[in-house]
Structure formats: structure tokens, C-alpha cells
Structure 1
Amino acid sequence: MDKASVTRFMLLIVAVINAVLNMLGYKTIPDELVNDIIAVGSGIYALYMGWKNNYLSKKGQKQKEVLEKHGLS
């Protein structure tokens, strides 16, 4: 397992624990903080996916050239 997978799994565990505690009536994390964290995380994820799914880096440009050379794009 890589670091990113472990991090995502741990965040999922924290979210599930928080949801269960909220259902039981315990307010562990303020709703405003949760909304802010989700907004920032969504923005970062969108930027990351935009970067990874396009040929913006030098490596990506080389990959695109290889794909075009072999008629796969």
C-alpha cells in the first residue's frame, strides 16, 4: 500500500467515526470546520485530477507523443 491509499483510508475512518458520533448526538467537529475542510479538499482534488488527466508536464508531453506515434490517441 502506498502513502496516498493509507491517508485516504484513515480519512475515511475518521469521517465514519465522526458520522456515527453525530448520529448518537455527540458533536465532535463543528459543521463549519467540516464544510471548510471538504471545500478545500475538493478544490485540491479537482486541481490534482486536472493535472493528472492532461498532458501538462514534460513527462505528459512525451507520453502524448508516444501515443500519437502509435495511433492510440
Structure 2
Amino acid sequence: MDKASVTRFAFLIIAVINAVLNLIGYQTIPDEFVNDLVAVISGAYFIYAAWKNNYLSKKGQKQKEVLEKHGLS
């Protein structure tokens, strides 16, 4: 397993534990904090995805040139 898979799995376990604790009446993490955290993580992920899916970096521009050279773009 790579780092990303381990991180996703850890977040899943924490979310499940939090959900179970909320079901039995314990408020472990304030809702405002969770909402803010989700907003920050989502924003960072969207920026990362936009960067990776465009030819903005020097490496990306070189990849685009190669694709155009071979008629794949």
C-alpha cells in the first residue's frame, strides 16, 4: 500500500469511529470544525487536480509538445 492509500484508510477509520460515537451520544468533534476541515481539504484537492490536469508546469508543457508531435492531442 502506498502513502495515499494508508492516509485514505486512516481517515475512513476515524470517520467511522466518529460516526459510531455520535450515534451513541458522544460529540467528539464539533460540526463547525469538520465542515471547515472538509472545505479546506476539498479546496486544496481541487487546486491540485486542476494543476495536474493542465499543462501549466514545464513538465506538462513538454508532455503536450510530445503529444502534439505524435498527433495524440
TM-score (structure 1 length as normaliser): 0.90
Partner of 2:40: 40
Quote how far apart the aligned CAs of 1:5 are.
2.0
The corresponding residue for 1:30 is 30
Corresponding residue for residue 15 of structure 1: 15
Structural RMSD (CA): 1.0
Structure 1: 5+ residue stretches without partners = none
**Which structure 1 residue ranges, 4+ long, deviate > 4 Å from structure 2?**
none
Per the alignment, in what secondary structure is the counterpart of residue 56 of structure 2? coil
Paired AA for residue 19 in structure 2: A
Q: How many residues are treated as equivalent by the alignment?
A: 73
Q: How far has the Cα of 1:4 moved from its partner?
A: 2.0
Q: Give, as a single letter, the amino acid of the residue that structure 2 aligns with 1:59.
A: K
5+ long unaligned stretches in structure 2: none
**TM (normalized to structure 2)?**
0.90
